[in-house]
């Protein structure tokens, strides 16, 4: 039986993924490879909307692909590729822009938040059309599912609306995809500010565990994580957000239940607990960092794998563009 197709994308905005990216998304992408026909894309064109420096973008794109492989995305099981290597994304992106209402695009909350922060003169148009490029990323591959975090729900809704609109305006062309909202089970918070989501954009990096950082640096960050009053290792998100976050992290890596970990640390203090969390985390991240570095040292092999992925992706995407162009009345070159 054919497996259902799933597609997702991740932005290469930094040299290293952090724990939130991994536990919140990539780990679930890895699991989906077994049951689904998976397409995973490093969305470098989207990263351009953040005004990233050229050298940084190039480095982050390769580092993202290498980390995905090191984390378990298997290029033999998934189609792993770089967005800009498949020009069909831009081709369909434009068509999507031509069927999106200005008001509709203006209501995207991510655009509103980001543009409100920088002011309209410093907001690029690419940020405004970002969701239409994302719709193209998705619809090109006719996936059934789009595994993403809760924050992408509105973009998926727009994608569904655009697919339905295209189908009814022109011709039945797209499968209407469903969001597959990833379990928030492993929602990871900032170590310093345990009520805010762990994110690249937080004010300091002291609360951020980066996958490619040294074991020493990450141990130090975990040991200086904000804890709470009292000295009991107990899960209580309201009264003990710091300890609860560390319990979530421990459990995500060790596979032990929260209550088993609480029992282990019964009568012991925060210090012992933090040292144990640091051990569990670094034991898991050490081999991932090593594998990533190996891949980055052998760019030939990484490039070869990505080329295979983009060729597979382009074959599917080009076929969709051909149908779309035909449906809207763009004539073939002949
Ligand atoms: N906007 C997504 C994010 O910030 C990234 C993204 C771009 C994406 N294209 C996509 C996710 C297509 C899923 C499918 O996380």
- Cα–Cα distance for residue pair 328/166, rounded to 1 Å: 9
Ligand 1 pocket: which of 64, 131, 148 to mutate (most atoms within 8 A of CB): 148
How many whole angstroms from 160 Cα to the centroid of ligand 1?
14
CB 43, CB 11: distance < 8 Å? yes
| Closest ligand 1 atom to 155 CA | 1
The one-digit pLDDT tens for each residue of the chain (334 residues) are 689 999 999 999 888 999 988 988 999 999 999 999 999 999 999 999 999 999 999 999 999 999 999 999 999 999 999 999 999 999 999 999 999 999 999 999 999 999 998 888 889 999 999 999 999 999 999 999 999 988 899 999 999 999 999 999 999 999 999 999 887 656 899 999 999 988 877 768 899 999 999 999 999 999 999 998 888 999 999 999 999 999 999 999 999 999 999 999 999 999 999 999 999 999 999 999 999 999 999 999 999 999 999 999 999 999 999 999 999 999 999 8
How far does residue 128's CA lie from ligand 1's centre (Å)?
14
Q: How far apart are CA 53 and CA 33, in angstroms?
A: 33
> How close is the Cα of 10 to the center of ligand 1, in Å?
6
∠ CA 25-292-258, nearest 5°, is: 40
Among protein residues, the one with the nearest Cα to ligand 1's atom 13 is: 8
How many CB atoms are located within 10 Å of the residue 102 CB?
7
Nearest by Cα to 5 from 316, 308, 314, 304: 316
Query: What per-residue string of b and e applies to 113-133 under the rule 16 or more CB within 10 Å gives b?
Result: ebbeeeeeeebeeebbbbbbb
Probe ligand 1: pick from 5, 6, 8, max atoms within 8 Å of CB?
Answer: 8
Confidence (pTM): 0.93
Q: Which residues are the active-site residues?
A: 114, 197, 200
């Amino acid at each position: 039986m054919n497996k259902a197709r799933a597609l997702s994308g991740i932005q290469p905005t930094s040299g290293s993924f952090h724990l939130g990216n991994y536990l919140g998304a990539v780990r679930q992408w890895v699991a989906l490879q077994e049951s689904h026909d998976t397409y995973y894309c490093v969305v470098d064109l989207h990263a351009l909307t953040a005004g990233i420096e050229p050298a940084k973008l190039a480095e982050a794109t390769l580092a993202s692909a290498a980390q995905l492989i090191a984390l378990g995305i298997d290029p033999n099981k998934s189609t792993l590729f770089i967005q800009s290597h498949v020009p069909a994304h831009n081709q369909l992106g434009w068509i999507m822009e031509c069927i999106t209402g200005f008001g509709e695009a203006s209501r995207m909350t991510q655009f509103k938040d980001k543009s409100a922060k920088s002011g309209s003169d410093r907001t690029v148009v690419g940020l405004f059309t970002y969701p239409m490029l994302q719709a193209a990323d998705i619809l090109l591959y006719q996936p059934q599912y789009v595994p993403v975090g809760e924050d992408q729900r509105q973009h998926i809704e727009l994608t569904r609306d655009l697919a339905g609109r295209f189908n009814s305006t022109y011709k039945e062309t797209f499968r209407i995809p469903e969001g597959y909202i990833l379990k928030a089970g492993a929602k990871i918070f900032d170590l310093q500010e345990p009520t805010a989501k762990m994110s690249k954009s937080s004010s300091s990096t002291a609360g951020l565990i980066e996958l490619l950082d040294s074991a020493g640096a990450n141990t130090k960050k975990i040991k200086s994580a904000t804890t709470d009053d009292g000295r009991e290792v107990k899960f209580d998100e309201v009264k003990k957000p710091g300890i609860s976050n560390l319990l979530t992290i421990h459990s995500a890596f060790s596979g032990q239940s929260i209550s088993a970990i609480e029992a282990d640390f019964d009568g012991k203090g925060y210090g012992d607990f933090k040292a144990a969390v640091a051990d569990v985390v670094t034991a898991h991240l050490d081999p991932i960092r090593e594998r990533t570095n190996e891949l980055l040292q052998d760019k030939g092999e990484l490039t070869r794998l990505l080329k295979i992925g983009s060729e597979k992706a382009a074959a599917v995407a080009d076929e969709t563009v051909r149908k779309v162009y035909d449906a809207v009345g763009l004539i073939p070159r002949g």
